[in-house]
Structure 1
Amino acid sequence: MIVEVIGSKKELEDVEPFYVEQLLWGTQSIPKTYGYLGFVPKEGFYLKMVCEEKEPLRTYENVLDPVYRDSAMEAFFQFETERGGRGSAVYLNFEVNANGALLAAYGSGRTYRTFFTKEELEAFDCNAAVEEERWNFQLHIPLKILEEIYGPLNLGRGSRFSCNFYKISEAKEIEHYASCFPIHSEIPSFHMPEYFGEAVIAETI
Protein backbone atom coordinates (compact mmCIF):
# COMPACT_ATOMS: atom_id res chain seq x y z
CA MET A 1 0.00 0.00 0.00
CA ILE A 2 1.39 3.38 -1.02
CA VAL A 3 0.61 6.31 1.29
CA GLU A 4 0.89 9.54 -0.62
CA VAL A 5 2.48 12.70 0.75
CA ILE A 6 0.00 15.57 0.80
CA GLY A 7 0.32 19.23 1.64
CA SER A 8 -2.74 19.42 3.90
CA LYS A 9 -5.96 17.69 4.91
CA LYS A 10 -7.70 19.40 1.97
CA GLU A 11 -5.80 17.15 -0.46
CA LEU A 12 -6.77 13.88 1.25
CA GLU A 13 -9.42 12.78 -1.24
CA ASP A 14 -7.00 13.32 -4.14
CA VAL A 15 -5.04 10.21 -3.12
CA GLU A 16 -5.72 6.70 -4.39
CA PRO A 17 -8.36 5.03 -2.19
CA PHE A 18 -7.97 1.70 -0.42
CA TYR A 19 -10.84 -0.79 -0.19
CA VAL A 20 -12.16 -3.02 2.59
CA GLU A 21 -13.20 -6.10 0.61
CA GLN A 22 -11.84 -9.17 2.41
CA LEU A 23 -14.94 -10.87 3.87
CA LEU A 24 -14.21 -12.74 7.08
CA TRP A 25 -15.67 -15.41 9.37
CA GLY A 26 -18.79 -16.27 7.42
CA THR A 27 -19.63 -12.74 6.28
CA GLN A 28 -21.48 -12.90 2.96
CA SER A 29 -21.49 -9.21 2.05
CA ILE A 30 -20.90 -5.73 3.42
CA PRO A 31 -21.77 -2.25 2.18
CA LYS A 32 -19.04 -0.85 -0.07
CA THR A 33 -16.31 0.48 2.24
CA TYR A 34 -13.20 2.41 1.27
CA GLY A 35 -10.88 5.09 2.56
CA TYR A 36 -8.11 7.60 2.00
CA LEU A 37 -4.85 7.88 3.94
CA GLY A 38 -2.36 10.69 3.43
CA PHE A 39 0.80 11.85 5.20
CA VAL A 40 1.81 15.44 5.89
CA PRO A 41 5.55 15.58 6.72
CA LYS A 42 6.37 16.63 10.30
CA GLU A 43 2.63 16.74 11.05
CA GLY A 44 1.17 13.25 10.78
CA PHE A 45 -1.50 11.23 9.02
CA TYR A 46 -4.98 12.13 7.86
CA LEU A 47 -7.56 9.39 7.37
CA LYS A 48 -11.06 9.33 5.91
CA MET A 49 -13.17 6.19 5.66
CA VAL A 50 -16.46 5.93 3.78
CA CYS A 51 -19.22 3.31 3.94
CA GLU A 52 -22.08 3.26 1.44
CA GLU A 53 -24.58 2.18 4.07
CA LYS A 54 -28.05 3.60 4.59
CA GLU A 55 -29.18 4.28 8.16
CA PRO A 56 -26.14 2.75 9.93
CA LEU A 57 -26.68 1.41 13.42
CA ARG A 58 -25.36 4.12 15.76
CA THR A 59 -26.41 3.85 19.38
CA TYR A 60 -23.15 4.83 21.10
CA GLU A 61 -22.30 8.51 21.43
CA ASN A 62 -19.27 8.88 23.71
CA VAL A 63 -15.53 8.43 23.34
CA LEU A 64 -14.29 4.98 24.36
CA ASP A 65 -17.76 3.45 23.93
CA PRO A 66 -17.82 -0.09 22.38
CA VAL A 67 -18.70 1.20 18.91
CA TYR A 68 -17.93 -2.19 17.31
CA ARG A 69 -21.36 -3.24 18.60
CA ASP A 70 -22.86 -0.66 16.24
CA SER A 71 -21.92 -0.39 12.58
CA ALA A 72 -18.30 0.78 12.69
CA MET A 73 -15.19 1.30 10.59
CA GLU A 74 -11.75 0.83 12.09
CA ALA A 75 -8.10 1.54 11.38
CA PHE A 76 -5.14 -0.16 13.09
CA PHE A 77 -1.50 0.99 12.76
CA GLN A 78 1.87 -0.33 13.87
CA PHE A 79 5.20 1.50 13.57
CA GLU A 80 8.78 0.36 14.03
CA THR A 81 10.83 2.14 16.63
CA GLU A 82 14.42 3.12 15.89
CA ARG A 83 15.45 0.95 18.78
CA GLY A 84 13.37 -2.01 17.66
CA GLY A 85 12.56 -4.56 20.32
CA ARG A 86 9.58 -4.48 22.62
CA GLY A 87 8.25 -1.08 21.61
CA SER A 88 7.78 -2.22 18.04
CA ALA A 89 5.09 -4.69 19.15
CA VAL A 90 2.77 -1.81 20.07
CA TYR A 91 -0.08 -1.03 17.69
CA LEU A 92 -2.87 1.54 17.72
CA ASN A 93 -6.59 1.02 17.11
CA PHE A 94 -9.11 3.65 16.02
CA GLU A 95 -12.75 2.51 15.90
CA VAL A 96 -15.56 4.89 14.92
CA ASN A 97 -19.32 4.70 14.41
CA ALA A 98 -21.58 7.05 12.47
CA ASN A 99 -22.05 9.28 15.52
CA GLY A 100 -18.32 9.99 15.49
CA ALA A 101 -17.82 8.15 18.79
CA LEU A 102 -14.15 7.14 18.91
CA LEU A 103 -12.71 4.10 20.65
CA ALA A 104 -8.93 4.44 20.53
CA ALA A 105 -6.09 2.77 22.42
CA TYR A 106 -2.63 1.26 22.04
CA GLY A 107 -0.75 -1.75 23.31
CA SER A 108 0.88 -4.99 22.22
CA GLY A 109 -2.19 -7.23 22.48
CA ARG A 110 -5.98 -7.30 22.52
CA THR A 111 -6.11 -7.07 26.32
CA TYR A 112 -4.47 -4.60 28.71
CA ARG A 113 -4.57 -1.78 26.21
CA THR A 114 -3.82 1.82 27.16
CA PHE A 115 -6.50 4.38 26.38
CA PHE A 116 -5.52 7.79 25.10
CA THR A 117 -5.92 10.83 27.32
CA LYS A 118 -8.69 13.36 26.87
CA GLU A 119 -6.24 15.78 25.27
CA GLU A 120 -4.97 13.13 22.86
CA LEU A 121 -8.51 12.10 21.91
CA GLU A 122 -9.28 15.73 21.15
CA ALA A 123 -6.12 16.00 19.04
CA PHE A 124 -7.38 13.18 16.80
CA ASP A 125 -10.18 15.59 15.80
CA CYS A 126 -12.51 12.71 14.95
CA ASN A 127 -15.80 13.59 13.30
CA ALA A 128 -18.43 11.73 11.30
CA ALA A 129 -21.07 12.69 8.77
CA VAL A 130 -24.18 10.78 7.70
CA GLU A 131 -25.70 11.29 4.27
CA GLU A 132 -28.70 9.60 2.67
CA GLU A 133 -26.70 6.86 0.99
CA ARG A 134 -23.47 6.73 2.99
CA TRP A 135 -21.57 7.80 6.07
CA ASN A 136 -17.96 8.62 6.78
CA PHE A 137 -15.52 9.59 9.46
CA GLN A 138 -12.29 11.58 9.40
CA LEU A 139 -9.46 11.82 11.89
CA HIS A 140 -5.94 13.16 12.28
CA ILE A 141 -3.11 11.09 13.77
CA PRO A 142 -0.47 13.59 14.93
CA LEU A 143 3.16 12.60 14.63
CA LYS A 144 3.68 14.03 18.12
CA ILE A 145 1.37 11.43 19.66
CA LEU A 146 2.99 8.59 17.71
CA GLU A 147 6.43 9.63 18.94
CA GLU A 148 5.20 9.82 22.54
CA ILE A 149 4.42 6.11 22.17
CA TYR A 150 7.29 4.91 19.99
CA GLY A 151 10.02 7.50 20.44
CA PRO A 152 11.58 9.18 17.37
CA LEU A 153 10.21 7.69 14.15
CA ASN A 154 11.73 9.98 11.50
CA LEU A 155 8.81 9.27 9.17
CA GLY A 156 9.28 10.55 5.66
CA ARG A 157 9.41 9.45 2.06
CA GLY A 158 10.22 5.75 1.83
CA SER A 159 9.33 5.03 5.47
CA ARG A 160 7.46 1.80 6.10
CA PHE A 161 4.85 0.81 8.65
CA SER A 162 1.99 -1.67 8.83
CA CYS A 163 -1.76 -1.23 9.05
CA ASN A 164 -5.16 -2.72 8.39
CA PHE A 165 -8.65 -1.29 7.96
CA TYR A 166 -11.94 -2.89 8.88
CA LYS A 167 -15.73 -2.86 8.65
CA ILE A 168 -17.54 -4.47 11.56
CA SER A 169 -20.73 -4.93 13.47
CA GLU A 170 -21.16 -7.35 16.35
CA ALA A 171 -24.92 -6.67 16.45
CA LYS A 172 -26.52 -10.05 15.72
CA GLU A 173 -29.07 -8.69 13.23
CA ILE A 174 -26.36 -7.23 10.98
CA GLU A 175 -23.21 -9.02 12.16
CA HIS A 176 -20.35 -8.75 9.67
CA TYR A 177 -16.56 -8.54 9.47
CA ALA A 178 -14.27 -7.43 6.65
CA SER A 179 -10.71 -6.16 6.24
CA CYS A 180 -8.48 -4.43 3.74
CA PHE A 181 -5.65 -6.97 4.07
CA PRO A 182 -6.66 -10.63 4.55
CA ILE A 183 -6.67 -12.28 7.98
CA HIS A 184 -5.92 -16.01 7.90
CA SER A 185 -7.33 -16.98 11.26
CA GLU A 186 -10.35 -18.98 12.33
CA ILE A 187 -10.61 -16.85 15.47
CA PRO A 188 -12.60 -13.64 14.84
CA SER A 189 -10.28 -10.83 15.90
CA PHE A 190 -8.90 -7.72 14.28
CA HIS A 191 -6.19 -7.53 16.95
CA MET A 192 -3.74 -9.57 14.88
CA PRO A 193 -0.84 -7.36 13.78
CA GLU A 194 0.77 -10.37 12.10
CA TYR A 195 -1.87 -9.86 9.38
CA PHE A 196 -1.41 -6.13 8.96
CA GLY A 197 -0.33 -5.12 5.47
CA GLU A 198 2.79 -3.13 4.64
CA ALA A 199 2.42 0.58 3.88
CA VAL A 200 5.11 2.77 2.34
CA ILE A 201 5.14 6.56 2.31
CA ALA A 202 5.51 7.56 -1.34
CA GLU A 203 8.97 8.54 -2.55
CA THR A 204 7.54 11.19 -4.88
CA ILE A 205 4.41 13.34 -4.95
Structure 2
Amino acid sequence: MKTLSVKKVLCPDGCSAEQIPALFDAAQIPFQQIDCVNWKDYPYTPDVKFRIAHTGDAILIHYRVTEKSVRAVAPADNGRVWEDACAEFFVQPTDEKKYYNFECNCAGTLLIEYGIPGNREHAPLETVGQVERWASLGRIPFEERLGECSWQLALRIPVSAFFHDKIALLDGKKMRANFYKCGDKLQTPHFLSWNPIDLPSPCFHCPDFFGEIVFESK
Protein backbone atom coordinates (compact mmCIF):
# COMPACT_ATOMS: atom_id res chain seq x y z
CA MET A 1 0.00 0.00 0.00
CA LYS A 2 1.34 3.40 -0.97
CA THR A 3 1.56 6.20 1.60
CA LEU A 4 1.70 9.89 0.72
CA SER A 5 2.52 12.81 3.01
CA VAL A 6 0.32 15.84 2.26
CA LYS A 7 2.19 19.06 2.95
CA LYS A 8 0.46 22.04 4.58
CA VAL A 9 0.77 25.28 2.62
CA LEU A 10 -0.10 28.81 3.61
CA CYS A 11 -2.50 31.02 1.67
CA PRO A 12 -2.49 34.26 3.67
CA ASP A 13 -4.93 35.98 1.31
CA GLY A 14 -6.77 32.82 0.34
CA CYS A 15 -6.04 31.07 -2.95
CA SER A 16 -8.25 30.40 -5.93
CA ALA A 17 -8.13 27.12 -7.82
CA GLU A 18 -6.37 28.90 -10.68
CA GLN A 19 -3.55 29.89 -8.32
CA ILE A 20 -2.90 26.34 -7.09
CA PRO A 21 -0.29 25.34 -9.74
CA ALA A 22 1.83 28.43 -9.00
CA LEU A 23 1.40 27.93 -5.25
CA PHE A 24 2.57 24.33 -5.57
CA ASP A 25 5.54 25.37 -7.69
CA ALA A 26 6.59 27.90 -5.03
CA ALA A 27 6.16 25.31 -2.24
CA GLN A 28 7.98 22.64 -4.29
CA ILE A 29 5.11 20.15 -4.05
CA PRO A 30 6.21 17.11 -6.12
CA PHE A 31 4.08 15.31 -8.68
CA GLN A 32 2.97 11.71 -8.19
CA GLN A 33 2.21 9.36 -11.10
CA ILE A 34 -1.15 7.72 -11.78
CA ASP A 35 0.22 4.86 -13.85
CA CYS A 36 -0.98 1.51 -12.51
CA VAL A 37 -2.46 -0.52 -15.39
CA ASN A 38 -4.56 -3.02 -13.47
CA TRP A 39 -6.40 -4.69 -16.36
CA LYS A 40 -4.62 -6.12 -19.41
CA ASP A 41 -7.63 -5.44 -21.66
CA TYR A 42 -6.99 -1.71 -21.17
CA PRO A 43 -3.23 -1.26 -21.64
CA TYR A 44 -3.21 2.38 -22.78
CA THR A 45 -1.29 4.57 -20.34
CA PRO A 46 -1.61 8.32 -20.85
CA ASP A 47 0.84 10.49 -18.94
CA VAL A 48 -1.03 11.42 -15.75
CA LYS A 49 0.43 13.21 -12.74
CA PHE A 50 -1.09 14.78 -9.65
CA ARG A 51 0.12 16.69 -6.64
CA ILE A 52 -1.71 17.42 -3.43
CA ALA A 53 -1.40 19.75 -0.43
CA HIS A 54 -3.74 21.24 2.17
CA THR A 55 -4.40 24.51 3.95
CA GLY A 56 -5.93 23.08 7.11
CA ASP A 57 -9.46 23.78 5.96
CA ALA A 58 -9.18 22.63 2.34
CA ILE A 59 -7.52 19.98 0.16
CA LEU A 60 -5.75 21.30 -2.94
CA ILE A 61 -5.17 19.01 -5.94
CA HIS A 62 -3.44 19.71 -9.26
CA TYR A 63 -3.62 17.21 -12.15
CA ARG A 64 -1.49 17.32 -15.32
CA VAL A 65 -2.46 15.00 -18.19
CA THR A 66 -1.32 14.24 -21.74
CA GLU A 67 -3.48 11.80 -23.71
CA LYS A 68 -4.58 10.76 -27.22
CA SER A 69 -7.92 12.55 -27.10
CA VAL A 70 -10.12 14.54 -24.73
CA ARG A 71 -13.87 14.72 -24.16
CA ALA A 72 -16.07 16.77 -21.81
CA VAL A 73 -19.68 15.97 -22.71
CA ALA A 74 -21.24 15.92 -19.21
CA PRO A 75 -23.40 19.08 -19.21
CA ALA A 76 -23.64 19.73 -15.47
CA ASP A 77 -22.32 18.77 -12.04
CA ASN A 78 -23.20 15.31 -10.67
CA GLY A 79 -23.43 14.00 -14.23
CA ARG A 80 -21.64 11.11 -15.98
CA VAL A 81 -18.20 12.71 -15.90
CA TRP A 82 -16.37 9.35 -15.79
CA GLU A 83 -17.31 8.85 -19.45
CA ASP A 84 -15.22 11.94 -20.30
CA ALA A 85 -11.50 12.60 -19.84
CA CYS A 86 -11.76 12.39 -16.07
CA ALA A 87 -9.45 12.67 -13.04
CA GLU A 88 -10.72 11.23 -9.76
CA PHE A 89 -9.98 11.34 -6.03
CA PHE A 90 -11.61 8.77 -3.75
CA VAL A 91 -11.12 9.26 -0.02
CA GLN A 92 -12.20 7.57 3.20
CA PRO A 93 -11.85 10.17 6.00
CA THR A 94 -12.79 7.89 8.92
CA ASP A 95 -12.55 4.24 9.91
CA GLU A 96 -16.05 3.66 8.56
CA LYS A 97 -16.36 1.75 5.29
CA LYS A 98 -18.06 4.71 3.62
CA TYR A 99 -16.03 7.03 1.39
CA TYR A 100 -16.33 10.04 -0.92
CA ASN A 101 -15.59 10.17 -4.64
CA PHE A 102 -14.62 13.46 -6.29
CA GLU A 103 -14.69 12.89 -10.06
CA CYS A 104 -13.93 15.84 -12.35
CA ASN A 105 -13.70 15.95 -16.14
CA CYS A 106 -11.24 18.08 -18.09
CA ALA A 107 -13.73 20.96 -18.27
CA GLY A 108 -14.12 21.13 -14.50
CA THR A 109 -17.54 19.47 -14.30
CA LEU A 110 -17.66 17.65 -10.96
CA LEU A 111 -19.41 14.66 -9.40
CA ILE A 112 -19.36 14.07 -5.64
CA GLU A 113 -20.86 10.97 -4.03
CA TYR A 114 -20.73 9.29 -0.63
CA GLY A 115 -21.51 5.82 0.66
CA ILE A 116 -20.38 2.23 0.16
CA PRO A 117 -19.80 0.39 -3.14
CA GLY A 118 -23.12 -0.05 -4.91
CA ASN A 119 -24.95 2.36 -2.62
CA ARG A 120 -23.84 5.92 -3.39
CA GLU A 121 -25.52 9.21 -2.49
CA HIS A 122 -25.04 12.34 -4.60
CA ALA A 123 -23.82 15.39 -2.72
CA PRO A 124 -26.26 18.32 -2.80
CA LEU A 125 -25.45 20.62 -5.72
CA GLU A 126 -24.87 23.40 -3.20
CA THR A 127 -22.07 21.30 -1.71
CA VAL A 128 -20.59 20.49 -5.12
CA GLY A 129 -20.57 24.20 -5.89
CA GLN A 130 -18.33 24.85 -2.88
CA VAL A 131 -15.46 23.04 -4.64
CA GLU A 132 -13.60 25.62 -6.68
CA ARG A 133 -12.20 24.40 -10.00
CA TRP A 134 -9.81 25.59 -12.68
CA ALA A 135 -9.52 23.81 -16.03
CA SER A 136 -6.88 24.77 -18.60
CA LEU A 137 -9.27 23.78 -21.42
CA GLY A 138 -12.01 26.07 -20.12
CA ARG A 139 -15.31 25.27 -18.45
CA ILE A 140 -17.57 24.76 -21.52
CA PRO A 141 -18.58 21.15 -22.40
CA PHE A 142 -17.33 19.78 -25.75
CA GLU A 143 -17.43 16.61 -27.85
CA GLU A 144 -14.37 14.40 -28.21
CA ARG A 145 -11.31 16.06 -29.74
CA LEU A 146 -8.94 13.59 -31.38
CA GLY A 147 -5.19 14.07 -31.35
CA GLU A 148 -2.71 14.39 -28.52
CA CYS A 149 -3.73 16.97 -25.96
CA SER A 150 -2.21 18.18 -22.72
CA TRP A 151 -4.46 19.63 -20.04
CA GLN A 152 -4.46 20.63 -16.40
CA LEU A 153 -7.06 20.68 -13.67
CA ALA A 154 -6.94 22.16 -10.17
CA LEU A 155 -9.43 21.67 -7.33
CA ARG A 156 -9.85 23.38 -3.99
CA ILE A 157 -11.96 21.01 -1.86
CA PRO A 158 -13.08 22.67 1.41
CA VAL A 159 -13.70 20.46 4.44
CA SER A 160 -17.41 21.35 4.05
CA ALA A 161 -17.46 19.14 0.93
CA PHE A 162 -17.31 16.13 3.28
CA PHE A 163 -21.02 16.58 3.81
CA HIS A 164 -21.50 13.51 6.02
CA ASP A 165 -18.60 14.29 8.34
CA LYS A 166 -17.67 17.17 10.60
CA ILE A 167 -14.03 17.91 9.84
CA ALA A 168 -12.84 21.14 11.42
CA LEU A 169 -9.16 20.83 10.56
CA LEU A 170 -7.14 18.48 8.39
CA ASP A 171 -3.88 18.87 10.35
CA GLY A 172 -2.52 15.52 11.54
CA LYS A 173 -5.32 13.44 10.04
CA LYS A 174 -4.73 10.13 8.27
CA MET A 175 -7.12 9.03 5.53
CA ARG A 176 -7.27 6.21 3.03
CA ALA A 177 -7.48 7.26 -0.61
CA ASN A 178 -6.80 6.51 -4.24
CA PHE A 179 -6.38 8.66 -7.33
CA TYR A 180 -7.57 7.65 -10.77
CA LYS A 181 -7.64 8.60 -14.44
CA CYS A 182 -10.29 7.21 -16.76
CA GLY A 183 -12.24 7.91 -19.92
CA ASP A 184 -14.92 5.27 -20.39
CA LYS A 185 -16.17 6.67 -23.72
CA LEU A 186 -12.95 8.04 -25.15
CA GLN A 187 -11.63 6.58 -28.39
CA THR A 188 -9.08 4.71 -26.26
CA PRO A 189 -10.73 3.80 -22.92
CA HIS A 190 -8.41 3.46 -19.94
CA PHE A 191 -8.57 2.94 -16.18
CA LEU A 192 -5.43 3.97 -14.30
CA SER A 193 -4.83 4.16 -10.55
CA TRP A 194 -2.23 5.55 -8.14
CA ASN A 195 -2.42 2.61 -5.72
CA PRO A 196 -2.71 -0.74 -7.54
CA ILE A 197 -5.98 -2.66 -7.67
CA ASP A 198 -6.16 -6.47 -7.71
CA LEU A 199 -9.59 -7.17 -9.19
CA PRO A 200 -10.57 -9.12 -12.35
CA SER A 201 -12.27 -6.21 -14.14
CA PRO A 202 -12.21 -2.38 -13.98
CA CYS A 203 -13.60 -1.05 -10.71
CA PHE A 204 -12.57 2.07 -8.81
CA HIS A 205 -15.15 1.64 -6.03
CA CYS A 206 -12.89 -0.67 -4.07
CA PRO A 207 -11.73 0.89 -0.78
CA ASP A 208 -9.83 -2.29 0.10
CA PHE A 209 -7.22 -1.09 -2.40
CA PHE A 210 -6.91 2.50 -1.21
CA GLY A 211 -3.52 3.81 -0.14
CA GLU A 212 -2.91 6.18 2.78
CA ILE A 213 -2.54 9.95 2.85
CA VAL A 214 -1.22 11.78 5.93
CA PHE A 215 -1.93 15.49 6.38
CA GLU A 216 1.04 17.32 7.88
CA SER A 217 0.43 19.77 10.72
CA LYS A 218 3.05 22.32 9.64
Which category describes the TM-score, using the shorter chain as reference length? 0.7 to 0.9
Please report how far the alpha carbon of residue 203 of structure 1 lies from its aligned counterpart in structure 2 after TM superposition: 5.2
Partner of 1:94: 102
Correspondence for 1:120 among 113, 117, 127: 127
Partner of 1:35: 50
Percentage of identical aligned residues: 23
Partner of 1:22: 36
State how far apart, in whole Å, the 1-side matches of 2:197 and 2:132 are.
29
Partner of 1:139: 155
Correspondence for 2:24 among 1, 6, 12: 12
Higher fraction of strand: 2
- TM-score norm. by structure 2 comes to 0.80
State the Cα RMSD in Å. 2.1
2:213 matches 1:199: yes
**CA distance 1:62–1:197, shift in 2 (3 Å):** same
Correspondence for 1:164 among 164, 171, 178: 178
Gaps of at least 5 residues in structure 2 are 139-147
Structure 1 contact 12–46 (Cα < 8 Å) conserved: no
Q: Match of 1:12, as an amino acid?
A: F
**CA distance 1:79–1:172, shift in 2 (3 Å):** same
After superposing the two structures, state which structure 1 stretch, 20-29 or 3-12, moved more: 3-12
Higher fraction of helix: 1
The Cα offsets for residues 98-147 of structure 1, whole Å up to 9 and x where unpaired, read as 222112111122x231111122111011232229841122212212332x
State how far apart, in whole Å, the 2-side matches of 1:12 and 1:195 are.
27
For 1:68, what is the secondary structure of its paired residue? helix
Structure 2 contact 93–175 (Cα < 8 Å) conserved: yes
Structure 2 contact 92–98 (Cα < 8 Å) conserved: yes
Please report how far the alpha carbon of residue 154 of structure 1 lies from its aligned counterpart in structure 2 after TM superposition: 4.9
2:6 matches 1:3: yes
State how far apart, in whole Å, the 2-side matches of 1:162 and 1:139 are.
19
Partner of 1:60: 74
Please report how far the alpha carbon of residue 66 of structure 1 lies from its aligned counterpart in structure 2 after TM superposition: 0.8
**CA distance 1:156–1:102, shift in 2 (3 Å):** same
**CA distance 1:33–1:172, shift in 2 (3 Å):** closer
Gaps of at least 5 residues in structure 1 are none
Structure 1 contact 156–201 (Cα < 8 Å) conserved: yes
Please report how far the alpha carbon of residue 55 of structure 1 lies from its aligned counterpart in structure 2 after TM superposition: 4.3
State how far apart, in whole Å, the 1-side matches of 2:151 and 2:186 are.
21
